[in-house]
Amino acid sequence: MYAAASDPKRARLAAVQRLLREPLGVFGVTLVVLMLFGAIFADWLSIYEPNKISPRDRFQGPSWDHLLGTDQLGRDLFSRVLHGGRIALSVALFSTLASLVIGIVLGLIAGYGPRWLDNLMLLFFDSIKSFPTVMLALALVTLFGPSLTAVVIVVVLVNVPGYARIIRTQTLALKESEFVTAALSMGASTPRILRVHVMPNVVGPLLILASMDIPVVIAIEAGMSFLGLGVRPPTPSWGAILNDGFTAIRDTPWIVLAGGLPIIITTLGFTFLGETLRDVFDPRLKGRG
């Protein structure tokens, strides 16, 4: 029993060691940890309030007093970038988790249910996926108004069909397997079969793919905020900082850099981390684009 219990621990330890031996994996972990650290401890890392207006300090360049300079209202950009990271992370993690849960449930139902239900749900997935993201965002903003809620709904609607299709395909492959047939012969209920026998075998690869979708979600949030469809001023957001910077990009380029660099760094971090996790934990997904 002890050896059996220790095998999963040794497997996880070996996987972590393989991850740390990959230079891109270590680089990705470092960038993600720095981003998380800055977002969590934003209140302690900056001495300025992110929304404090100081007209006398407007358009100041980077200095020891303002590491990333100030914007058109004299607000400290370093503080706004750190607090904007909280918005980006909260939206990315919550909406990705919601997309995973909904996608897993719908994918299991489509893959294990009757053929007519599978066809109906595939039609639903394709209908949602056919909407362009921008048009979907505009429609939801018209209904709910610019807010974080609209951003989360857009991300969930965009991601759920893809996750559900992956789960459906893998569920169909396991539906006729021997261990599922054996569980049925022993009188196991459908919810138990899906929960105990099917879901543990199909969720792992999806979690790896979801980690690679986090930078996409952050880009969607930043893009909607840039267009005025996301968080409302004066709430700090990387997209809103970019929007402010483009109005004065010829004279004050550091505002655009302050809004754009965090998006680039976060995208690189999660992408390198996700690709390394994919190669380490599920080599079958290697090369999948």
pLDDT tens digits for 130-179?
Answer: 878 777 777 877 787 777 888 888 888 888 998 998 888 888 877 777 77
- What is d(CA 77, CA 255) in angstroms, rounded to the nearest whole number? 7
Average pLDDT over residues 61-88: 89
Query: What integer pLDDT is reported at residue 25 of this predicted model?
Result: 79
Quickly list H helices, 22-114: 23-40, 42-45, 77-112
**Residue with the two structure tokens 């909406």:** 95
Query: What integer pLDDT is reported at residue 7 of this predicted model?
Result: 55
pLDDT tens digits for 1-51?
Answer: 334 444 556 656 666 677 677 788 788 888 989 988 998 898 898 888 988
Domains and CATH numbers, the chain: 39-50+61-285 (1.10.3720.10)
Cβ atoms of 47 and 17 closer than 8 Å: no
Query: What integer pLDDT is reported at residue 1 of this predicted model?
Result: 38
Cβ atoms of 232 and 147 closer than 8 Å: yes
Q: At what angle do helices 148-175 and 133-144 cross, to 10 degrees?
A: 130
Q: Where are the beta strands (DSSP E) in the chain?
A: none
Neighbouring C-beta atoms of residue 280, cutoff 10 Å: 20
Torsion angle, CA of 185/187/188/190, rounded to 10 degrees? 90
Q: At what angle do helices 23-40 and 254-281 cross, to 10 degrees?
A: 130
Q: Give 227's pLDDT tier (boundaries 50, 70, 90).
A: confident
- Number of C-alpha atoms within 13 angstroms, CB side, residue 7? 4
Cβ atoms of 79 and 39 closer than 8 Å: no
What average pLDDT does the structure give for the chain?
Answer: 81
